[in-house]
Amino acid sequence: MFVSQIADGSQIWTQHISKRPSGVVAMILGIDEEKETPQLFTSDPAGYFLGHEAVSAGSKDREAINFLEKNMKDHPSLSFEATIQVCVLI
């Protein structure tokens, strides 16, 4: 899986004193191999990766994630137009 390769590469950078980790959270859209459904993956500089239905990264990511959880609880599968409206609200 591509996101796993990115996470492995990021984790290797954390093991060398002379190399500085990137400090970037990568968001990658892909297919979950187990569920065979679209999935949003994140990989952090420490080499940790997770799959998400919705996610945010940045200085106020916790507030955005709480907003997404609250607004997507009743509608886990939003239409394209509804998804755009939620994104604009964030």
Structure confidence by residue, pLDDT tens digits, 2-14: 667 666 766 666 6
User: Nearest CA to 52 among 43, 40, 44?
Assistant: 40
Share of the chain above pLDDT 90, in %: 1
Domain boundaries, the chain: 1-52, 57-90
Predicted pLDDT of residue 16: 64
pLDDT in tens, 71-85: 777 766 777 787 777
pTM of the predicted structure, to 2 decimals: 0.58
Reference 57, options 31, 28, 19, 37; nearest CA is 28
Q: How many CB atoms lie within 10 A of CB 45?
A: 17
pLDDT digits (tens, 9 = 90+) for 19-35: 665 677 888 888 778 87
